[in-house]
Amino acid sequence: KAGVTQTPRYLIKTRGQQVTLSCSPISGHRSVSWYQQTPGQGLQFLFEYFSETQRNKGNFPGRFSGRQFSNSRSEMNVSTLELGDSALYLCASSPYGQGNEKLFFGSGTQLSVL
């Protein structure tokens, strides 16, 4: 089985721009969640999608949004980028997003905002 695929691997943007990150889950997994990792911080939960519906959202401003398609692929969008948005963004998939299911992570997208 192919693993979780995130694209692109690296991104450099400037303040004020917007960015879209993509995540393709493991085949058959319907839950996709997104996390932000900044230096010194643990993974911060952004949101979770299941069957094209946002099921849960973390404490991030409205500039962070996402969606999920019928094939379970998910995209995350950040508008009006700020310097503080520079981070590693990870997505993870699981069959149903239940707490007793382990998460399968992608390799992440490293976003640098200049």
| Interacting residue ranges for another protein, rule: CB under 8 A | 3-4, 33, 35, 40-45, 48, 55-56, 58-59, 90, 92, 97, 99-108
Nearer to another protein, 17 or 44 (CB): 44
- Return the structure tokens found at 71: 């094939």
**Looking at beta carbons only, is 11 or 46 nearer to another protein?**
46
Dist CA 53 CA 30 (whole Å): 10
Taking the complex as a whole, the smallest distance from the CB of residue 105 to another protein amounts, in Å, to 4
- Whole-number minimum distance, CB 72 to another protein, in Å? 18
Specify the residue, 18 or 51, whose C-beta has the smaller distance to another protein: 51
Task: Tell which residue, 107, 109, 32, has the closest CA to residue 70.
Answer: 32
Half-sphere exposure of 92 (CA within 13 A, CB side): 19
Q: 104 forms bridges with which residues in the sheet?
A: 93
